[in-house]
Structure formats: C-alpha cells, structure tokens
Amino acid sequence: MKVKDVMRRNVISLPQNGSLKEIVAAFINNHIDCLPIVDAAERVVGVITVADLIDVFFPRYHELLRDMTVLQDKGQIASLFDTSFAGLDRIQEQLIIAADVMNSRLRCIYQDESLLQAASELQAQSVPRLPVVDRDNKLVGLLSDFEVILAMLHGSTAARANA
C-alpha cells in the first residue's frame, strides 16, 4: 500500500509570508493541529504545529501546568494566567510571519512511498503528521499515525474476511 492511498488530501496551508493572524485563524477556523507552510511554487518549506504556537503565545504554559497544584494551594493561579497568556501586542503580531514560527527541519514523504516506510519516518521524526509531496515536491497531502493505523486495521479486517 502506498502513502497516496491513505493520506489526508484536503490540506490547509499558508505561504511563508502568512501573518500571525492568518496562522491563528487557520488553526482555529479549521480545527487543525498542523499547518504546512509553502513557497510560491507550493513546495513545502516548513510546518507549524500547536507546540510552535505554544512557544509563541504561551511560553510559560508547561511550567504553569507543572506548578498547578502548588499554585492552587497559594491562590496565585489567576495572576499567573493573566501574565502567561497575555499574548503579543499588535506591533509584534504584525512583525511575525509564518517563516519565523515554522519548523523547517522536517522531512516530507513522497506520495509513492510505501506506507510502512512512511510510518517508520513518522516515528523517527517524533511528529504527529508529515507533509506528503509529489515528485515536484509540491504539497499533496498529510499523513499521520491515524491514517496508517486505520489502513492497517482495514487491511487486517479484509484479510480475515477473505480467509
């Protein structure tokens, strides 16, 4: 089975110069956790994940969650949330573009690769999903463990039915 047989085809992407406002809108309006960033030729140049957004907007998020039980006892949660989640001011928002936030060290997978090969790459990269590209390196889909597992389950069920 090939990646193109199971990949998610309807993919939301943004250009490298997409604004922070566009990035946030793409995540919220499309309920996604991964946003491929493409150049003018629609080639993938990076990916923005929820973790990247946390780094930009909520740099103390993990620290705050880790310290939650201590803070509850002292009644300091409200003030910490106010300062941790204040976000960026308007000037900062206008200066940050997709190229500033994206992870560009991510490998894409080709739509003609075997599903097993792609699953191995997903594990090696330790990411929830990878962009799928054609031979011209243009974005054609996304592949996650979800699609891989569903394909395996479907194959296993079909094999049992034929036995």
Extract the tokens encoding 132. 């799928």
* Short-list 148, 159, 156, 153, CA closest to 114: 148
Residues 6+ apart with CB under 8 A from 129: 33, 34, 122, 142, 143, 144, 145
φ/ψ (deg, to 5) at 44: -70, 125
As a whole number of angstroms, the distance between CA 128 and CA 154 comes to: 21
Model's pTM, two decimal places? 0.76
In tens, the pLDDT along 104-133 reads 888 899 999 999 999 898 888 877 789 999
Q: Tens-digit pLDDT profile for the chain (163 aa)?
A: 899 999 999 999 999 999 988 998 999 999 998 999 999 999 999 999 888 888 877 766 666 666 666 555 555 555 544 554 455 566 566 678 899 989 888 889 999 999 999 989 888 887 778 999 999 999 999 999 899 999 988 875 554 555 5
Range of the domain at 51: 3-162
Extract the tokens encoding 102. 């994206």
CATH number, residue 78: 3.10.580.10
How many CB atoms within 10 Å of residue 125? 14
| Count of the separate structural domains present in the chain | 1
Residues pairing with 48 in the sheet: 35
Helix crossing, 115-125 with 145-162: angle to 10°? 150
Rg of the chain taking only CA atoms, in angstroms: 19
